[in-house]
Amino acid sequence: MTIDNGPGSVPDGNPEDLLVFCRRDGMVICPRCTEMSVYPLKDGRFRCAGCAYTFHDFTGRWINRCKMQPAQWLDLIRLFVDGIPVNKMAARMRASYETTLKAVNTLRLSILAADPTFWPLLNTQGNLKTHCRKGHGGHDDHCLGEHAPVFGLQRYDGKLFFHHLPKTPVNAILSLSLNKRVWKTLVYTDRYQDYDALFFACCSHLRRLFAERWSGGTAFLDNDVSFWDFAENWLPRYRCFTPKCCPLYLKELEFRFNHPPSSWYKLLMQRLCEFVPNPR
């Protein structure tokens, strides 16, 4: 099924275009050993002459994580480019909400994985790890963001970049004498070292606990009009995201901010055809 997005929508793509991003200079690549010494099989798959692995063009890539045809992926990318919410995407694609959500999150994961500093947040299946320890061990009530990932925001050359900071724990940020502000499920700080702000996401318990301390004062980022104009335009289109999904939305925001809308469609096709990284 092909979706009519109306005038001004992104140009139609051909499902065969996806193969261009899966083949290095037109050559088929083995997803296991990355060798190009492969040969075709009668059933349409390939076999690597080096490691004897049998595969097809999408094996090991983000696009292979959902049972969707290439034409369906192109339809979904068009809707994602336009910022259509998942429930409306599902209705327009005549697909289940669960399938559409998995596909959209796969697309977001492919954007996130373009930054290797975020790979430690992925498990061996390419999904985001769960950092909240509520209800486990000594944290039966709330974990106070103890294991939540921290991100640093930098701005240069008119672009913004979120970096994962694995050596900066949340409790260290809480102890810093920096103004802190709450934005949706996120907490951000005043300027710190080379970063315009530090970000982390936490449950509502932690935000309520420090509400009075974080409601006053200002932060360096508060004066960044271009950031807030863009962020407040895009993120409210989605339902309130969970702290676990925070990295996906931050990297999506970065992607949309840094690239002109005319390039989103092609870039997302490329991201979707990248190999799922192995964090090990």
What pLDDT shows up at residue 155? 94
113 falls in which pLDDT band (50, 70, 90)? very high
Quickly state the pLDDT bin for 5 (edges 50, 70, 90): very low
Positive/negative CA dihedral, 5, 6, 7, 13: positive
Write the DSSP string, 130-188: P---TTBTTBSS--TTTT--EEEEEEETTEEEEEE-TT--HHHHHHS---EEEETTEEE
Contacts (Cβ under 8 Å, ≥6 apart) of 219: 178, 179, 180, 181, 188, 189, 190, 191, 197
**Confidence class for position 240, pLDDT limits 50, 70, 90:** low
pLDDT at 1: 36
Binning pLDDT at 50, 70 and 90, where does residue 144 land? low
Provide the pLDDT for residue 17.
83
pLDDT of residue 2: 35
Q: Look over the chain and give the mean of its residue pLDDT values, rounded to a whole number.
A: 85
Q: What is the mean pLDDT of residues 9-17?
A: 62
pLDDT given at position 145 = 60
- Highest mean pLDDT: which range of 80-94, 142-156, 199-213: 80-94
**What is the 8-class DSSP label of residue 276?**
P
Per-residue confidence at 125, pLDDT binned at 50, 70, 90? Answer: confident
Per-residue pLDDT at 230 exceeds 90: yes
Residue 280: pLDDT above 70?
no
Ranking 4-8, 52-56, 256-260, 269-273 by mean pLDDT, the lowest is: 4-8
pLDDT exceeds 60 at position 259: yes
Q: Which long-range contacts (CB under 8 A, 24 or more apart) does 84-92 make?
A: 85/237, 85/238, 85/239, 86/238, 92/3
State the average pLDDT over residues 181-186: 85
- Per-residue model confidence (pLDDT) at position 3: 36
136 pLDDT exceeds 60? no
Quick one: what percent of the chain has pLDDT higher than 90? 57
Cα–Cα dist 245/242, whole Å: 5
Kindly tell me if the per-residue pLDDT of 140 is higher than 80: no
Surface-to-core class of residue 187, CB atoms within 10 Å of its CB (0-12 exposed, 13-18 middle, 19+ buried):
buried
Q: Are 30 and 18 in contact (CB under 8 A)?
A: no
Give, rounded to a whole angstrom, the gap between the first and last alpha carbons of the chain.
Answer: 39
Residues 6+ positions from 139 with CB-CB distance below 8 Å: 133, 146
Mean pLDDT, residues 51-71 taken together: 93
Q: What is the structure's pLDDT at 279?
A: 61
